[in-house]
């Protein structure tokens, strides 16, 4: 039950942060938009994910259908989310600039892309396409990732940054 509450809070927080970040970006305020995206969809969502995977690992594993007597995988995933949350907070509070913030968002989006692809692979291998699991985990994660990638592309364009 606790994992469901944290997941719901994470989804609402992330979606609200992305929407607000996009709104500010389209008001031509790149730095403020980046601050919002780094703090909320990366920092806060990463920290909430860490909490769910580490502290409430049993209910989170049950929610995901990955129950185990050994929670090490849950811990590992939680620590990955915490790492991105800390990077987001450091780039924001350390005033590391636009490029570092964009890289923090890009890094988290790449990580979540892999998570979404893993959910998709599991859904395909277990013949669970168009189930609640597939829609909630794979599709929702991949939509979040696409929105983050588009934000990164738009922010990079406005900041006149290139990948290479």
Counted domains in the chain = 1
pTM for the whole thing? 0.89
Closest listed residue to residue 55, CA positions, set 128, 93, 5: 5
Residue 163 domain flag: no
Residue 69 domain flag: yes
pLDDT at res. 67: 65
Residue 164 domain flag: no
Q: Is 138 helix (H, G, I), strand (E, B) or coil?
A: helix
Show pLDDT as tens, one digit a residue, over the chain (164 residues): 676 788 788 889 999 999 999 999 999 999 999 999 999 999 999 999 998 887 766 666 666 666 667 777 778 888 999 999 999 999 999 999 999 999 999 999 999 999 999 989 988 888 877 777 788 778 999 999 999 999 999 999 999 999 88
Structural domain for 35, as ranges = 2-158
Residue 54 domain flag: yes
| Residue 77 falls in which region: left (phi positive, over 0), alpha (psi -120 to 50) or beta | alpha
Provide DSSP, 70-120: -THHHHHHHHHHHHHHHHHHHHHHTT--HHHHHHHHHHHHHHHHHHHHHHH
Residue 23 domain flag: yes
pLDDT at res. 53: 80
C-alpha pair distances (Å), 11 with each of 46, 71, 92, 154:
11, 23, 22, 23
pLDDT at res. 86: 98
């Amino acid at each position: 039950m606790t994992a469901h509450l944290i997941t719901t809070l994470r989804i609402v927080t992330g979606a609200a942060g992305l929407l607000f970040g996009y709104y500010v970006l389209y008001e031509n305020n790149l730095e403020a938009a980046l601050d919002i995206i780094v703090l909320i969809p990366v920092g806060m969502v990463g920290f909430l994910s860490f909490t769910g995977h580490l502290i409430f690992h049993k209910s989170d594993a049950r929610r995901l259908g990955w129950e185990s007597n050994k929670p090490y995988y849950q811990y590992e995933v939680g620590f990955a989310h915490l790492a991105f949350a800390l990077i987001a907070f450091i780039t924001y509070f350390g005033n590391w600039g636009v490029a570092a913030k964009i890289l923090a968002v890009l890094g988290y989006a790449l990580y979540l892309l892999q998570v979404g692809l893993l959910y998709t692979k599991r859904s395909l291998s277990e013949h669970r396409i168009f189930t609640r699991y597939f829609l909630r985990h794979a599709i929702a994660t991949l939509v979040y990732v696409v929105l983050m990638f588009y934000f990164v592309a738009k922010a990079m364009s406005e900041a006149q940054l290139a990948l290479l």
